[in-house]
Structure 1
Amino acid sequence: MSLLNQIETYQPWNEQEAADREGLLARMRRGEDLYTRSNPEAHFTASAWVVSPDRKQVLMAYHNLYDSWAWLGGHADGQQDLLAAALREVREESGLTEVRPVTPEIFSLEILTVDGHEKHGRYVSSHLHLNVTYLLEADPALPVRCKLDENSRVGWFGLEEAVAASTEPWFQERIYKKLNAKLMALGL
């Protein structure tokens, strides 16, 4: 099923997801190039809420750019299979080799604002990340490592601890708490 069809059939969890779903669909239906960073205003990213098999822990990385603990994920970079992009990003950012989808379905949708910043010595203008989140699973006993050009630490947190570890209030309240609530309510 195409990403457009997946997003069309996705049932939003809350008002934020409903509004963001409509924004994503409007851009996709206009035929914008959203899969690469050549669109400087908005492009697809794929994120992962990586949980332990017992659903009591979540994997976070300390992202250097945002100076905060955060979920794992990154740009689609031309890949239209965003689940594959999320898996790729988790492997790159954490060093995990064994990570799997809890379900292949979209777990969450977000349109995220990114402030202008320097990356690799070049200025990147403010833009939007059209984010698709997947629920993934990994064993906390497996070794993890940093991706030094992006993060300086990777670690497992209890669900509430993961929210508290972030220094980004909007992410704490609107994203991470939502992901935890949805995880518990759906019993995945």
Structure 2
Amino acid sequence: MKLIEQLEKYQPVNEQEEKDKSFIISCLKQFDNIFSRENNLAHMTASAWVVNKTHDKVLMAYHNIYDSWSWLGGHADGETDLLSTAMREVEEESGIHNIHPVSDDIYSLEVLTVDGHIKRGEYVSSHLHLNVTYLIEADEAESLSIKPDENSGVKWFALDEAIKASSEKWFRDNIYNKLNEKLKYFR
């Protein structure tokens, strides 16, 4: 499987990524339905750290379920090309179309806990998102639009302001700071 090959080549930047890489690969080998929400324990997701052309701003959406500003992304829903998933989610969640990956390589890895919640009137049990993140560049002059069933705002933030805008402490401290730090390798 192409994704397993990409994951095996990926060089973790810290212990979190090292352990999460191992866990994600294990799940990919163990579960046939890992790219589908039918797997109630864990499923593959893709996120995008969307930056402007000068890499000094990041695009975030106000995520209704989590009541927080956050990165863009979503479920694979059967798609095994997670870069395509990330690109699709950026377009759906922000309304922008002038986007491209800075690299086809994986930018970051995370195993994310998702608390039980109501989505489209139905209860979704707590589960894990096996998340692959890509670095995406976008034109910050392009018009933004919300996706009302998922977010209530889309906005460009200075890198440090993006972290402060999130109300999710674990994401601020462990994910968003890491993503911003990695940007220095792409300037």
TM-score, normalised by the number of residues in structure 2: 0.98
Runs of 5+ unmatched residues, structure 1: none
Residue 29 (str. 1) matches residue 29 (str. 2): yes
Counterpart in the other structure of 1:39:
39
In 1, Cα distance between equivalents of 2:166 and 2:31:
35
- What amino acid sits opposite 1:183 in the alignment? L
> Percent identity of the aligned residues?
57
Counterpart in the other structure of 1:62:
62
| Deviation for aligned residue 1:180 | 0.3
Counterpart in the other structure of 2:144:
144
**CA displacement 1:118-163 (0-9 Å, x = unmatched):** 1111110000000000000001111010000100000000000000
In 2, Cα distance between equivalents of 1:144 and 1:31:
37
Residue 106 (str. 1) matches residue 124 (str. 2): no
- What amino acid sits opposite 1:25 in the alignment? I
| Deviation for aligned residue 1:16 | 0.5
| Deviation for aligned residue 1:97 | 1.1
Aligned length: 187
Counterpart in the other structure of 1:161:
161
| Deviation for aligned residue 1:30 | 1.8
CA RMSD of aligned residues (A): 0.9
Counterpart in the other structure of 1:8:
8
Counterpart in the other structure of 1:129:
129
In 1, Cα distance between equivalents of 2:31 and 2:165:
38
Moved more, 21-30 or 74-83: 21-30
Counterpart in the other structure of 1:93:
93
In 1, Cα distance between equivalents of 2:35 and 2:8:
17
Counterpart in the other structure of 2:83:
83
Counterpart in the other structure of 1:187:
186
- What amino acid sits opposite 1:117 in the alignment? H
Runs of 5+ unmatched residues, structure 2: none
In 2, Cα distance between equivalents of 1:36 and 1:136:
24
Give the match's secondary structure for 2:77.
coil
Give the match's secondary structure for 2:142.
coil
Moved more, 1-10 or 145-154: 1-10
| Deviation for aligned residue 1:29 | 1.9
In 1, Cα distance between equivalents of 2:151 and 2:98:
20
Counterpart in the other structure of 1:170:
170
TM-score, normalised by the number of residues in structure 1: 0.97
